[in-house]
């Protein structure tokens, strides 16, 4: 799988966007791309790409984090040169905070991102998560994120799951929901994710992924 030069990943808290970002980075590296992940999730200190520094290093992936990532000072001191990173990498993945407040950090780089011709901003949805269970709710949050970040989404990732309780039926029952969100947004479903054994009957661009982000209660 070859990623675009720049891929922005956003979505609601608990949608699984960070796990998706980790999987995409690993797949890009396996495909021979020089990949850099930028962790702009300055809102949620518990599930962040910054926690996967060792995994990334082992797979030749560069990780860039805000100045105070992995400390108790979660304030927006970014200190990241997106343009310089784009110049040095085959592909760049930006993991954005999980709501419109988190997307404001992305807005700081809106001009640079808009000047990149080979880019996409993917909105991760999870039917099983609070506040995005209905297509209208998911769409409303997406619009809030777009406004806060000054960048429009270009595709949807259906990452519906219930953690360790996920099975084939949960993913298949989410397909209609994902199609409604995509149709209302006027966007394609870029990926439908899940463990490979749960994607057997999925035709909406299935993408097998592994679970790297663990919940606190696992």
Residue 214 domain flag: no
Residues 194 and 125: their CA atoms lie apart, in Å, by 13
Please tell me the predicted confidence (pLDDT) of residue 108.
86
Q: Characterize 158-197 residue by residue with b for buried, 16 or more Cβ atoms within 10 angstroms of its Cβ, and e for exposed.
A: bbbbeeeebeeebbbebbebbeebbeebebebbbbbbeee
The 10s digit of each residue's pLDDT in 100-154 is: 777 888 888 899 999 999 999 999 999 999 889 999 999 999 999 999 999 999 9
**pLDDT-based confidence at 215, cuts 50/70/90?**
low
Residue 154 domain flag: yes
Residue 1 domain flag: no
- Residues spanned by the domain of 145: 6-208
Q: Considering only CA atoms, which of 89, 87, 73, 84 is closest in space to residue 32?
A: 89
Residue 13 domain flag: yes
Q: What is the CATH number of the domain that holds 26?
A: 3.40.50.300
Residue spans of alpha helices (H) in 108-155: 110-114, 135-149
Residue 116 domain flag: yes
The 10s digit of each residue's pLDDT in 182-202 is: 999 999 999 999 999 999 999
Domain count, the chain: 1
């Amino acid at each position: 799988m070859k990623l675009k030069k720049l891929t922005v990943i956003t979505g609601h808290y608990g949608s699984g966007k960070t796990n998706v970002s980790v999987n995409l980075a690993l797949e890009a590296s396996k495909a021979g791309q020089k990949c850099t992940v930028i962790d702009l999730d300055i809102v949620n200190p518990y599930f962040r790409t910054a926690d996967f520094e060792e995994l990334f290093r082992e797979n030749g992936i560069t990780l860039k984090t805000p100045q105070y990532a992995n400390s108790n000072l979660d304030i927006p001191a970014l200190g990241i040169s997106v343009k310089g990173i784009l110049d040095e990498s085959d592909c760049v993945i930006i993991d954005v905070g999980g709501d419109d407040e988190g997307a404001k950090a992305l807005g700081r780089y809106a001009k640079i991102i808009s000047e990149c011709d080979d880019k996409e901003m993917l909105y991760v949805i999870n039917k099983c998560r609070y506040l995005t269970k209905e297509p209208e709710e998911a769409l409303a949050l997406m619009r809030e994120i777009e406004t806060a970040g000054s960048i429009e989404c270009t595709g949807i990732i259906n990452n519906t799951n219930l953690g360790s309780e996920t099975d084939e039926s949960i993913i298949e029952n989410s397909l209609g929901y994902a199609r409604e969100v995509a149709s209302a947004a006027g966007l394609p479903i870029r990926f439908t994710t899940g463990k490979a054994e749960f994607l057997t009957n999925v035709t909406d661009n299935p993408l097998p992924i592994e679970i790297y982000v663990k919940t606190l209660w696992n």
